Chains A and B, each alone.
Chain A
Amino acid sequence: MIVDLKHIGEMCSVVRTPDKGWRIGAAVSVRQLGANGDLARDYPGLIEAAQLIGSLQVQSRATLGGNLCNGAPSADAVPLMMSIEARVEIAGTRGRRMVNIESLPVAPGKVALTPDELLVAVLLPPRPARSAARYLRFTPRREMDIAIAGSGVAVRLGAAGEIAHARITLASVAPVPLRATKAEARLIGERPTAALLAEAARIAAGEAKPISDTRASADYRRELVAVLTRRALDACVAEAGVGGSKP
């Protein structure tokens, strides 16, 4: 017997949580996500990342839950969700549990769910003031291609314009989406000068553990990490600096 998860109410809805965050049903399609203007105002980078998935046909079907549970190191919506510290709600025969997204991917094609478990929803925290999050990827073809490297960045600026919080998660350069924690640490408390952002991006490239395959060499992927991370940091700092939209 096959059960269609896309008819379970809570898995198909997008709702604001009491703390002004979001609860996105795991079976909400990327097409539906894109149609939610309020969500797009809070997390434009998430919508943008999800809209990189496949074609419009694929996006009519693709979900954030599937993007996560597919377990691909190249999953386009995952790095940004990790960087904004999203959590997931999991339901199983023994009840429900909540985990950080980061603990879900364990190996290519494998996530930390037991056979009786189902991902029910993705929970986004409220968007902090003076913050922004963006994901950039590189594909040899502009459309319908899989990232050979990607970088999902979240930044929050402090009162003096310094970087108060930063997260960088890399795609396609490790068996699972990879946090660049050394690069993040380099940024904290510093003023976001072009030189600093470039330096942090270089550190992130050093943290990447890419392989060489038919699609790209390890060196090329590493170089891409530096470029994409720098650009994503630039974009986030600019966006967070101009107010980073108070929700």
Chain B
Amino acid sequence: MKTVVQCEVNGEPREALVDPRDTLLQLLRDRLGLTGTKEGCSNGNCGSCTVLMAGAPVCACLVLAGEAEGAHITTIEGVADGNDLHPVQAALIQHGGTQCGFCTPGIVLSAVALLAETPQPTSGQIRHAIAGNICRCTGYDKIVTAIAAAAAEMQAGARQ
């Protein structure tokens, strides 16, 4: 039996009809058309489908769509401010922290969640925060550099 789920995605109220077996990932991609969230392994290992629920990073493939009822969800589509990229996105471009791009939405959300709680992370904290995001292109170094640069940029912005 399908049920209606009401939630807030990227600050906007959304509503969709879901099957009890649907995942949040299916809700986002197939029902709401938010295909920026990528499906990789479908079992929580790769982190491609990372989104934020109440600010906490989760793999959308491991959340049932029904659990989204009343939830506040942030996907990659809600990270930039209009045409202004989030500092994490800008830094990933600037430092070459993205190649094929498939893991990038998930990495961005993991980094956004990290910087919200830890504005000045160490390199170790950055590596730990993205340990659940697999990237088979970059070798991670440039991603870590980019997140550190974004943190510095955001700190400088906050001081102004």
Contact = CB atoms under 8 A, between A and B. Distances in A.
A57 B113 CA distance: 10
Given A143-B128, A144-B45, A144-B132, A58 B20 contact: no
A15 interface: no
B67 interface: yes
A160 interface: no
B87 interface: no
Contacts of A144: 45, 131-132
A34 to B, nearest CB: 11
Main secondary structure of the interface of A (DSSP, over half): loop
A1 B64 CA distance: 13
Contact of B132 (A1, A6, A55): A55
Contacts of A6: 67
A191 interface: no
Best-buried of A1, A60, A61, A143 by chain B (most CB within 10 Å): A60
Contacts of A1: 20
Given A2-B20, A61-B63, A143 B131 contact: yes
Contacts of B128: 56, 143
Interface string A1-44: 11010100000000000000000000000010000000000000
Contacts of A109: none
A54 interface: yes
Contacts of A58: 44, 59, 62, 132
Interface stretch (B49-57, B96-104, B142-150, B152-160): B49-57
A167 B143 CA distance: 43
Contacts, number: 51
B58 A57 contact: yes
A12 to B, nearest CB: 13
A120 B64 CA distance: 21
B105 interface: no
Interface string A200-238: 000000000000000000000000000000000000000
Interface string A41-72: 00000000000001111101100000000000
Given A56-B128, A57-B47, A144-B132, 16 more contacts: A1-B20, A2-B66, A4-B64, A6-B67, A54-B44, A54-B132, A55-B44, A55-B133, A56-B132, A57-B59, A57-B62, A58-B59, A58-B132, A60-B57, A61-B63, A142-B131
20 contacts: A2-B20, A2-B66, A4-B64, A6-B67, A54-B44, A55-B131, A56-B128, A57-B44, A57-B50, A57-B57, A57-B59, A57-B62, A57-B132, A58-B59, A61-B58, A61-B59, A61-B63, A142-B131, A144-B45, A144-B132
